[in-house]
């Protein structure tokens, strides 16, 4: 284990998240659509790695490559907010792909997309030695677990996992961390099949890669999720899933009103990607197929036509 470092810039030692000064240590093109950036920083031995869909923040340097020193203070967020607009760094949300505390390194896989944004530009243009900052979970946090949204009830041994390319790093980690006894399906839509080359297999989860090709974003994902959800419901009940007409009546189950507890649902579902597509999947699962919404995590990772936070 490396020698323990000082508290990063005076931040509380047991804070849930810590902001780390980092530099680009490597940049690798994984496929046409993905770049892996390896960040290295003196305090990254404190970066926790609970796996699953651990969310982190990437703080980008200004176009001239600088990162305001004022950020690195006990209250980094207060410092960030007080910076004038033209000096306030852009922050984007990502997923931990790998953590190597002994080398003080963290890998992040970034989608290269059109239209491009500041993070997409950084992914294609950054060079070894470029400055940035990473906000990540603290391995000494007083209360751990912040930033993980894959919360499968221990009693639920069936899963439905689905997402687009922005969810691919999270789906990779989830499949790696899922116990072998879990059964179900994982569906990922990517621009080109080779973008998903890093997806691992799982002994009980059927992993399906859907190539977008020229189809609208999410169209083929929705078709594949419909089939996978139908198969899981059939496997569980031995019947075709009930088709609910949401125009004829309100589909509503309120916890405590005699609704089936989420842990007893047909499966636990985790869905992430473009917000409009995820909204459609939510309608499909909950509205059409009648899945208990408390068994489903729906996450709009980005919104077409809108910058993060915009
Ligand atoms: C919890 C969470 C985890 C995430 N994990 C990852 C991850 O591991 N890897 C990853 O690549 N992304 C991930 N994302 C998505 C990422 O944060 C967004 O794609 C983000 O908008 C990229 O920032 P940007 O500066 O490149 O573009 P922005 O400045 O935010 O947006 C500029 C333009 O690009 C469009 N845009 C943004 N993302 C995409 C896209 N993927 N495809 C096409 N157009 C897009 C926007 O609609 C906008 O028009 C995650 C998001 C969340 C909430």
- The domain limits of the chain are 8-137, 158-302
Q: pLDDT by residue (tens digit) across 235-293?
A: 766 655 455 443 554 333 322 334 444 556 789 999 999 999 999 999 999 989 988 88
For the beta sheet containing 268-274, the strands, ordered from the edge strand earlier in sequence to the opposite edge, are 205-211, 183-190, 158-163, 268-274, 296-302
DSSP 8-class letter at 217: T
2: number of Cβ within 10 Å: 11
What is the residue with the minimal CA distance to atom 49 of ligand 1?
305
pLDDT at 260: 40
pTM above 0.85, yes or no: yes
Cα(86)–Cα(46) distance, integer angstroms: 31
φ, ψ of residue 300 to 5 degrees: the values are -80, 100
Same CATH topology for 8-137 and 158-302: the answer is no
What is the residue with the minimal CA distance to atom 4 of ligand 1?
94
> Which of 106, 120, 121, 304 to mutate for ligand 1's pocket (most ligand atoms within 8 Å of CB)?
120
Considering the segment(s) 158-302 as one domain, its CATH architecture is 3-Layer(aba) Sandwich (3.40)
The fold of 8-137 is Elongation Factor Tu (Ef-tu); domain 3 (2.40.30)
**Ligand 1 center to 238 CA (angstroms):** 40
What is the residue with the minimal CA distance to atom 1 of ligand 1?
55
Q: Could you tell me the sign of the dihedral formed by the alpha carbons of 300, 305, 308, 310, in that order? A: negative
DSSP 8-class letter at 286: I
pLDDT at 309: 84
Residues whose beta carbon lies within 6 Å of some atom of ligand 1:
55, 92-95, 109-111, 113, 115, 117-120, 166, 169, 301-308
Cα(30)–Cα(38) distance, integer angstroms: 12
What is the residue with the minimal CA distance to atom 40 of ligand 1?
113
**Ligand 1 center to 13 CA (angstroms):** 30
What is the residue with the minimal CA distance to atom 21 of ligand 1?
308
| 10-residue averages of pLDDT along the chain (310 residues) | 62 93 97 97 96 96 90 92 92 97 98 94 96 97 88 90 98 97 97 97 98 97 97 73 48 34 74 93 91 89 91
**Ligand 1 center to 48 CA (angstroms):** 23
């Amino acid at each position: 284990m490396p020698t323990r470092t000082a508290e990063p810039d005076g931040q509380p030692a047991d804070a849930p998240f810590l902001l780390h000064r980092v530099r680009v240590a490597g940049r690798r093109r994984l496929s046409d659509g993905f770049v892996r950036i390896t960040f290295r920083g003196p305090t990254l031995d404190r970066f926790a790695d609970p796996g699953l869909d651990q969310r982190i923040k990437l703080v980008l340097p200004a176009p001239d490559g600088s990162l305001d020193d004022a950020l690195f203070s006990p209250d980094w967020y207060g410092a960030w907010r007080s910076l004038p607009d033209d000096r306030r760094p852009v922050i984007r949300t990502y997923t931990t792909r790998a953590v190597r505390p002994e080398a003080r390194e963290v890998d992040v896989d970034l989608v290269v997309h059109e239209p491009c944004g500041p993070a997409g530009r950084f992914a294609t243009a950054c060079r070894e030695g470029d400055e940035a900052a990473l906000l990540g979970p603290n391995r000494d946090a007083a209360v751990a677990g912040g930033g993980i949204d894959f919360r499968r009830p221990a009693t639920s041994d069936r899963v439905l996992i689905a997402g687009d390319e922005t969810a691919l790093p999270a789906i990779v980690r989830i499949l790696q961390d899922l116990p072998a006894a879990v059964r179900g399906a994982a569906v990922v839509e990517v621009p080109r099949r080779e973008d998903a080359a890093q997806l691992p297999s799982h002994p009980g989860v059927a992993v399906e890669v859907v190539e977008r090709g020229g189809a609208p974003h999410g169209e083929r994902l929705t078709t594949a999720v419909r089939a996978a959800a139908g198969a899981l419901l059939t496997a569980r009940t031995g019947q075709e899933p009930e088709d609910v007409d949401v125009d004829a009546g309100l589909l509503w189950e309120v916890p405590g009103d005699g609704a089936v507890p989420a842990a007893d649902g047909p499966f636990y579902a985790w869905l992430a990607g473009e917000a409009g597509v995820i909204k459609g999947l939510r309608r499909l699962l909950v509205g059409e197929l009648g899945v208990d919404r408390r068994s489903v995590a729906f996450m709009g990772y980005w919104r077409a036509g809108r910058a993060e936070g915009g």
